[in-house]
């Protein structure tokens, strides 16, 4: 299984007032890392960025079957 940390940033606003979102992925996250630890890392990364974070995701990919 692969695990990825994704930070989604608000980089602007459309004319209708909807947020414009962009994301940055961090691959090769330890699969046994706790959610609290990943959130702490995300907060540290976010503090160094120009844009505000909208939300943080953890994406786990599991290989099911090879065709």
Would 67 be classed as within a structural domain? no
| Separation of alpha carbons 38 and 59, rounded Å | 12
Would 66 be classed as within a structural domain? no
**What's the pLDDT tens digit per position in 22-47?**
999 999 999 999 999 999 999 999 99
Would 28 be classed as within a structural domain? yes
Would 10 be classed as within a structural domain? yes
How many domains, in total, are found in the chain? 1
Would 27 be classed as within a structural domain? yes
pTM above 0.95, yes or no: no
Structure tokens at 40: 């702490």
Q: Look at residue 67 in the predicted model and tell me its pLDDT.
A: 79
Determine the structural domain holding residue 32 and report its residue range: 2-61
Q: Look at residue 64 in the predicted model and tell me its pLDDT.
A: 85
| Separation of alpha carbons 54 and 7, rounded Å | 8
Q: Within 10 A of 16 (CB to CB), how many other CB atoms are there?
A: 5
């Amino acid at each position: 299984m692969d695990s990825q940390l994704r930070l989604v940033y608000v980089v602007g606003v459309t004319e209708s007032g909807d947020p414009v979102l962009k994301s940055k992925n961090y691959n090769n996250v330890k699969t046994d890392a706790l959610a609290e630890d990943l959130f702490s890392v995300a907060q540290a990364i976010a503090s160094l960025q120009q844009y505000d974070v909208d939300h943080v995701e953890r994406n786990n990919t599991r290989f099911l079957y090879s065709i």
